[in-house]
Structure formats: structure tokens, C-alpha cells
Structure 1
């Protein structure tokens, strides 16, 4: 049996799989193959295992098949795609929503739609790698501003001369490794005052934060050029979307290779995302409840553990500092029944390695107490 070495902090359990007539084994820290309590999934509401989402995905699979089989412009479009786009647009009050197979792909398409080699993109220093790849693909000039620093943002805009140059500001509403929330109202005001475009990635906020979970962009949506979001987190499914006005949406349809030349989102994922949306609509308290729970977790960890804890939301980062110590803490937690992955450079800056945990709807108070008891014994 051929063994494939996987980085030790990547794999949850020992698993095997077959490819042709060969069998492969994935190596793991978890040599006893025991079950672990997952503290790092982005399945914030636990909907990926919800029976109604599974049923919706199964039923559409029987009707439409597992995959869409082609791009949206050939035979890939299904009624479920249009229904999801329509319902999502209505919910977040946007004129046009377009579906993508992944958030990475959607972010690349978003940047390429709003910037080109004659543009300047002014981006928060902590934006996701997919957005940086999008800037590179657009050939725009990249300028970075200090994380959530409004003065630095405006200084960078003014220095870039918005009266002569096409400028796009790029931020996330909720940063996935920091758990920090962008001051979107102030950012939109700065962009509006200087007549520059604004792209907001809502991947980790949509479904949870903002008015009835409609994202932090919702209350200032008229001043935002485009929003991106994903279904692989709060919605419990997979895939992603762009939301904008009709004019920009039509431009993407006509020009975006990332939209035109890819196999359409799998029908079961679209059906699952639509069912996830229905669940979120029917349980408007989930987002606030999750944030309340996250505050309890944060307060308890700060009270009982020596390392600093960051995060203003359901994403919490225990800042360990040294990469080796973060890996050691991950291993220690795994040995004690918890899966919490060490996040290291280049994902985070050197010297800021961390254990990132995500608070989810199905994590109860007794579990928190067990986690705290384990943390207290860490040397």
C-alpha cells in the first residue's frame, strides 16, 4: 500500500481510499482513529447534516442528476439555479445574483468585473487569498491599507487620485482568521465621498450577521458596488454567489470567463443552499444566539487561559505566536478529543500563529466547560 504524507495538521482521522487498482492511506496525528469534537468547521448552524437539506439535495439529484454537466450557457442551467438566484436576490435586496461553483472563483470573477490593468485596487491587508488572486488576474495595481484603519484607507484613496484613476476598494465584512468585523458604514461613506467602487466579501457573515442574517452590507447596500458570499458556511451547502445591480450582473454574464466557462453549480448543492436559506429565514434568532454563545466562549477562554483571544463574532483566534507552539497546542487538543487546527504563515503573519475555533449552534455549555478544563492543563 502506497502512503501519501499529508501535513500533520490537515487530516482529522486515518482514512483509506482507492484509485483504480491502487489503495492509498492518509496519515494522521490521530493514530487511534478516535472521534474528535470539531471546533473549526465553518458549518456555523450545523445545516450540512440537516435532514431537510439532505432530503432536498437527494430529491433534486433524482430529478436533475448529481452534476449539472455543462456551463450555464450550454446545458448546465437548471430551474433550481434560477430559483436560488431569485430568492437570494429578494432576501438581500439586490437586483442580480449569479451563482458560482466556489467562493474562490466568485471572488476572482468579482475583481475582474470591477478592475482592469488601468485600475487601482485598494484592499485591506487581511483580505482572503482569492481576492488577491483576483487582483493579480485583473492586472490592476494593488495598494494595501492597514486592517480596518479608516484613516489609512482614506489616505490611500486620496493619494491614488480618484478624480483621475479608476479605484476599487476591497474588504471583507468579517475576517475569517481574525474574527474581526469591518466598520462597513464608515467605509461606505468614505468610498461614496471619494466616488470609488466598493466590493465586500460577506462569506463568513451572510446568514448570521446583519439584519436578520442578511449580512453586514445589508443596511448600506445602496452604496456598495458588489457583494460576494458563499453557501458552504452558514447555509450548510456549497458554492457561492455575486450580488450587484442589473447592469453589472449583465456585464459579468457577457464577459466573465469565470462564470461563462465553468460547469454550473451542482443541482444538489443549489437545492441544499435554497433549503438552508429557508431555514435561516424561519429562524431569525439563530444569528444573535450564535453571537451570544460566542461571547460566553470568548470570556471563559480569556478568564482561564494565558494566551490572548481575538474575535468579535463566532470566529475566535487564540493567538499563540510561535508556529511550533501552535502545532503543539493543536496536537495537545487532539489528544484530548478536540479538533482545532493551528493556523500558521503564510495564512497569518509570522509570529501570529494561532488556534482558530468557530462557535457553532450545536456546541453546548458543557462542551465549553470540558474545553476549558483541557486548556487549563496545557503547559
Structure 2
């Protein structure tokens, strides 16, 4: 019998070996089992732990209004629609949600995908192709990079948040490409820093490049209407493609694109990740609609303020205890702002995993970010606050994390 090289290769995969070596051990920060709803304190494998590893920034995952919206959709449409949006998978709930999002963002139209990852994959690969150039921030999310690869367009990376480097690349690309698309995150999920969108937008306009902003982590938090970083920097009207996830602040599942009618109609017929996947389950769409409406309300504004206030408490507490934490993000008016993501820099992957284990054992759940999610020697503990964390919970988390890192450094 001939050797099956593909299966044989799987047996020698170093990453699989690492997964198996860490599976079931207390020191493994991945695939831990949650046993209660995502809230400031979550039961993880039999123990209550302060949750600082969730993107539930506004604390809506267990909010009564979101549960009611999800339950109503479940009761009406059942567990699934079992079809693509193109065929039998479009519910009137989708149309309500898309109309709500377009009104919220002040755009002509909006379109909802089943997941945030598919939103980027389908949108980028539908908009650009061979002969075009996509210029992306080096810290862009994996879904953006994969969308670029799928498109067949030439992909160029610029140094993270380095506008001069972006300008240099655009000067070359604009001369040789049929079309140029620049893609950045509004808020980067590892370091927790905002993109300098005022400068980026100006450079794009100068070279005739289209701009796409992924607001997955900034939606619900920034801007007067809480549509994200582009609104905060006053560049929302100059952003050609506005993307966001429904799985962070809205605490559901899905993603969307908001923009012109031409853009959205083009995606409806060209985005394969939209056309050839099953529609999101009704409960997710109903929960998303309820979440968007809540975010647009005064309660949403209060929760956004509370999330950033909590981030300031966490960050300042860690900084006062001598920890190396992420910098504040500069704003166009000269001020700075916290974001709900606070990175604690460690450096070494093994050390970061060990610190994660010790902090986990003391009742605080964090996220360990290791290579290749971050650069080599850039390992960190990634902390995310919720609007619903109490001062006592944050003080306890600061105490545990600071004590553990300072003991390790001694």
C-alpha cells in the first residue's frame, strides 16, 4: 500500500504536538471550559473566576433585553433556517437589523453576514482581485489577511500605525495598480491601541485609495453614536467600507458591512462567503437586533462610559504597581484615551504561560497572547474589561496580577 503523505504529515505537525502536550494541564491557557454565562464572574471548570478574557465589553451577554430578543426569534423561527441568505435564509429579522445598522451608521445600506470572520473574508475577496493592491496594517486581524490572500490582489503591509510607511507604499502602489484598498482595524485587539484614522484617511484621499475600517472591537464604545473609531476621529463619512462584528460589544454572533448602495449590492452578488454559507441562527439575529437598539440608547451610552472608566481603573492600578502596560491612544485634539483592552507585556512565551497559570489558579481569567498572534518576544497577558465589572472585582484583579508578576520578577 502506498504511503498517505498527507495523513503522515499531520502526525508530525509541531503545533498539534504542542496542543496535545498541553491538553488537560493546568498550565494550558487555551480551550478552558466555561460553565456559566459570560459575566464579570464566570464559572470555569468548577471555580468562579473574575473574567478579564472576554470581548463582552458592554456586559450585554446576559442582559435581559438581549435574552428576550434571542428567545423571541427562537420561538418564532426555530433553531435554524437551514439555508443561505440567497435562497431561504433571509428572515424579516435580517432586514430589520440591516435597516437599523444603516440608520445607526448614516449609510445608504448595510448587510449582515453569519460571522465576523466571513464578513472580512467575503468582502475583501469580492472587492479586489488580480491587478489591484491591498495595503494592510501589519497588526491586522487574521480574517483580513486571509481575505487578502483569497482575493488574488497584491498585498502590501505597512508598519503598525506608521502613517509615513503607509504613504510610501501608496506612492508606489497608486502608480502600478488598477485599484488600491487600505484596510486597518479601528481598535487593535492585542495591544488595545486605536488606529490614527484622521491621518490614514487623509493619506488615502491624497492617493485615491479606498479605505476599509474593521470596527470589530471599537463598535459600541467610541464616537457620539458609538459606531466606532472612524466616528471618534471624524472620518466616518470618508470611510468607504465600514465593517464590524456583532460578537464583541453586541454580544451575539455575526458581522456586517455598512456603506453605499452600490457597495452592498455588489457584495450581495459577489461575496462568496455570504452567498454560499448558511444564514446565522435566528437567536443570534434576534439578539443582535436587540443589542444594536440598546447600544443606541442612553443605557448604551452609559455602558460605554462605564467600560472605559473601568479600563482606566484597571490600567492605572497595574501601572502604579510597576507593570509594563499598553500605552494610551492619542486623539486628534491632543488628548489620549484608554480602550477596554489592556495589554500587560511579558515578552517570553513560556513565562507568559506560567504567569497565566498562576493568575488563573488565584481566580482571575486572562488571555495569554503568544507568537504568532503577537511578534516573537512580544508575549503578553491581554485583559478586557466589561462595563459591569465592579470596583471590588477590578481591585482584586489588579492585586492578583500585580502580585503574581512582581513575585515572578523578584
Same fold (TM over 0.5): yes
Which of 173, 186, 208 is equivalent to 2:199?
186
Hey, what's the Cα distance between the residues in 2 that align with 1:233 and 1:123?
Answer: 22
Bigger Cα displacement from structure 2, 305-314 vs 319-328: 305-314
The 8 Å contact of residues 98 and 110 in structure 2, kept in 1 or not, is answered as yes
Pick one of 25, 31, 36 that aligns with 1:11. 31
After TM superposition, give the deviation of residue 6 of structure 1 in Å.
Answer: 6.0
Residue in structure 2 matched with residue 152 of structure 1 by the alignment:
165
What is the aligned partner in structure 1 of residue 186 from structure 2?
173
1:297 aligned onto 2:314: yes
Q: Normalising to structure 1: TM-score of the pair?
A: 0.91
Report the equivalent of 2:324. 307
2:47 matches 1:34: yes
Matched, 1:288 2:305: yes
The equivalent residue for 1:77 is: 90
> What is the alpha-carbon root mean square deviation over aligned residues?
1.9
Structure 1 residue 376 displacement after superposition: 3.6
List runs of 5+ in structure 1 lacking aligned partners.
Answer: 16-29
Aligned partner of 2:240 among 205, 214, 225: 225
**Structure 1 runs of 4+ with >4 Å offset:** none
Change (3 A) 1:32 1:65: closer
**Partner of residue 22, structure 1:** none
- For 1:351, the equivalent position in structure 2 comes to 377
Hey, what does 1:269 align to over in structure 2? 284
Structure 2 unmatched runs, 5+ = 1-19, 36-42, 329-337
The equivalent of 2:261 in structure 1 is 246
Report the counterpart of residue 249 of structure 2 in structure 1. Answer: 234
Post-superposition shift, 1:163?
7.0
Q: TM-score, normalised by structure 2?
A: 0.84
User: When the two structures are aligned, how many residues end up with a matched partner?
Assistant: 362
Separation (CA, whole Å) in 1 of partners of 2:170 and 2:289? 38
Q: Deviations over 1:271-308 (max 9, x none)?
A: 10111112112222322332122112111101113334
CA 1:280–1:375: 2 relative to 1, 3 Å: same
Counterpart-to-counterpart distance in 1, 2:75 and 2:401:
47
Instruction: Compute the displacement of 1:162 (Å).
Output: 4.3
Pick from 124, 134, 138: which aligns with 1:121? 134
Relative distance call for 1:316 and 1:71 in structure 2 (3 A) is: same
CA contact (8 A) 2:133 2:181 kept: yes
Instruction: Give the drift of 1:13.
Output: 3.9
Change (3 A) 1:94 1:168: same
SS in 2 for 1:49: coil
**Which residue of structure 2 aligns with residue 27 of structure 1?**
none
State the distance in 2 between where 1:318 and 1:376 align: 10
**Matches of 1:375 and 1:60, distance apart in 2:** 41
Distance 1:272 1:164 in 2: 42
